[in-house]
Amino acid sequence: MYRIQQIKLPINHKEEELLIKAAEALRIKKEEIKEITIFRKSIDARKKDEILFIYALDVDTYKEVKISKRNNNISVADPFIYDVQVTGEKLLNNRPVVVGSGPAGLFCALLLAEKGYRPIILERGKTVKERVKDIEKFWKCGILNTNSNVQFGEGGAGTFSDGKLNTLIKDRSKRGKKVLEEFVEAGAPAEITYINKPHIGTDLLRNVLVNIRKRIISMGGTFRFEECLTDIIIKDNAVYRIVTESDIIETDVLVLAIGHSARDTFEMLNNKLVKLIAKPFSIGVRVEHPQKMICEAQYGEMAGNPLLGPADYKFVHKSKNGRSVYTFCMCPGGVVTASASESQGVVTNGMSFHERDLENANSAVVVQINPEDFGGEENPMAGVEFQRYWERKAYEAGGGNYRAPVQLFIDFKEKKVSSSFGEIYPTYRPGCTFANLWDCLPDYVCESLVEGITAFGKFLTNYDRPDTLLTGIETRTSSPVRVLRDDEMQSNVRGIYPCGEGSGYAGGIMSASIDGLKVAEQILKTYKPKEQE
């Protein structure tokens, strides 16, 4: 198998042209190629009048091909093999417990189930089907269920997002490929295994999650929804039992795949002397533009071509005060979502369906916050209080009932409450109120946002247009705490395995899923599964 990089073709090319290009690169006849698989596909839009697809192809040939050492674009491709074995010698006395059914918890549980460990998965929220009902009720009426919302429930916060599957981490271990292939097996589009910026979309992701759950159950796993971890019983500096709202469960292995909004769990861990530290995160606003504007700025006359799909963007700017301001979780053709998990607090996020075909594009524009900004050096829980303070300020500015404060960019720069919308209307439900967002965020954040959005207008035409709509506030970009773990993936309390985004070790669906596999692999190295009774 040979991997050919940098195959460039017009976006309207025919499938046979891939075969022709591959044969030319390998200097063989088309008939000598057995099979072609797309390894990676991306868009080159640097020249708006000549937008190209760039491919990396895996090519299987009928005979060995001689590769020139001077050609860096052709190499021998390693076959995909993700194969981990149980090597642990210590016999588990009880079934492992995974707390949280987000990406980290699901993929940790999936690997444990595949290897015979029969994990128990605890989830404070509801199944995705019931969760959808609660969230729709919240978005329609402003009635919040604090245990079943955008943050809590089957699939975690990523269920109601764009379903992005890109990650900046290297994948030499093949874990990322394993995750993508499991998603495809569970019903996600096959293209996610090779397109440069894969996404599933919230609508398809919901069914995928249910299928992964069913697979784990078929291999002996048990899901317990609407059951929240409330206490950990420690004996000889090791986990001995855990307590939920309705049960006491004995376990030797406790995987904490909690989400970044599990504030009560962080507090319980802190009280139990499980070592936590405050970590940096970011806060800001959701920014909305017409999706058509984004496409025209990125693709020129090719905007709207279905082969390209809706355009996205990603920007970063270092502000004069030294803080980074950047776009985060950009959702083409999506909506801004009400994402609170606590009463009397406003939290925003973004969400897209698979087709990304709605009128507005949105993205978080956020500013870095460091532990010294909120007294995190002395108190690991100070970041939680910092987030909560500003979320409640946004609730007050919105006028209650989880209405979000909104402001046009032209008025935000002048600290003036807007009086009417321009061409952009908010997508946030259950509703919006014109307010001054400077009342909902620290001044240094607002100053950075003004500077950053203005700078982004130089990267993408009209990004800083006067009627750019800002919806407040975005606070849950990442966990405000990290549950410390050692080289064996365990906390200072033996048997506790902090995992995923909530514990401070990931930043999205892919990296959380990969971290879940890493933790499961470590359990495989340490323990043998409990013998079935």
Burial (CB < 10 A; 0-12, 13-18, 19+), residue 197, is: middle
- Give the DSSP letter string of 403-466: PEEEEEHHHHHTT----S--S-----SS-EEE--GGGTS-HHHHHHHHHHHHHHHHHSTTTT-T
Q: What share of the chain is helix, strand, coil (3-state, %, to 5)?
A: 30, 25, 45
The Cα 106–Cα 126 span in angstroms is 15
3-state secondary structure 64-130: CCCCCCCCCCEEECCCCCCCCCCCCCEECCCCCEEECCCHHHHHHHHHHHHCCCCCEEEECCCCHHH
238 beta partners: 235, 494
pTM of the model: 0.94
Q: Report whether 473 contacts 390 (CB < 8 A).
A: yes
> Does residue 473 have a cis bond before it (omega within 30 degrees)?
yes
The Cα 207–Cα 159 span in angstroms is 10
The mean of the pLDDT values for the chain is 95
Q: What is the pLDDT of residue 80?
A: 81
How many alpha carbons lie under 13 Å from residue 404 in its C-beta half-sphere?
27
The bridge status of strand 74-76 relative to strand 2-10 is antiparallel
Q: Which two tokens stand for residue 458?
A: 């130089």
Please say if the pLDDT value at position 126 is more than 70: yes
Q: What is the pLDDT of residue 424?
A: 98
How many alpha carbons lie under 13 Å from residue 374 in its C-beta half-sphere?
27
The Cα 220–Cα 120 span in angstroms is 9
Please say if the pLDDT value at position 395 is more than 80: yes
pLDDT digits (tens, 9 = 90+) for 309-366: 999 999 999 999 999 999 999 999 999 999 999 999 999 999 999 999 999 999 999 9
| DSSP-derived 3-state class of residue 60 | strand
Class assignment of domain 90-278+481-528?
alpha beta
Could you give the strand order of the β-sheet that contains 496-498, starting from the edge strand earlier in sequence?
Answer: 222-225, 120-123, 97-99, 254-256, 496-498
Residue 277 neighbours by CB distance under 10 Å: 14
CA distance readout (Å), 373 to 275, 279, 286, 369, 441: 21, 11, 22, 7, 13
User: Amino acid identity, residue 285?
Assistant: V
Q: Report whether 522 contacts 497 (CB < 8 A).
A: yes
Please state, for a pLDDT cut of 90, what percent of the chain lies above it.
Answer: 92
Please say if the pLDDT value at position 69 is more than 90: no
Q: Report whether 203 contacts 155 (CB < 8 A).
A: no
Q: What is the pLDDT of residue 81?
A: 86
The bridge status of strand 2-10 relative to strand 52-61 is antiparallel
Confidence of residue 110 (pLDDT cuts 50, 70, 90): very high
Q: What is the pLDDT of residue 533?
A: 56
pLDDT digits (tens, 9 = 90+) for 457-509: 999 999 999 999 999 999 999 999 999 999 999 999 999 999 999 999 998 99
pLDDT digits (tens, 9 = 90+) for 78-103: 888 898 999 999 999 999 999 999 99
Confidence of residue 66 (pLDDT cuts 50, 70, 90): confident
Could you give the strand order of the β-sheet that contains 360-369, starting from the edge strand earlier in sequence?
Answer: 316-318, 324-331, 360-369, 281-290, 469-474, 404-408, 432-434
> Does residue 480 have a cis bond before it (omega within 30 degrees)?
no
Q: What is the pLDDT of residue 170?
A: 66
- Under CATH, what is the fold of the domain 2-76? Alpha-Beta Plaits (3.30.70)
Q: Where are the domains of the chain?
A: 2-76, 90-278+481-528, 281-474
Q: Report whether 30 contacts 19 (CB < 8 A).
A: yes
Mean pLDDT for 49-55 is 95
| DSSP-derived 3-state class of residue 277 | strand
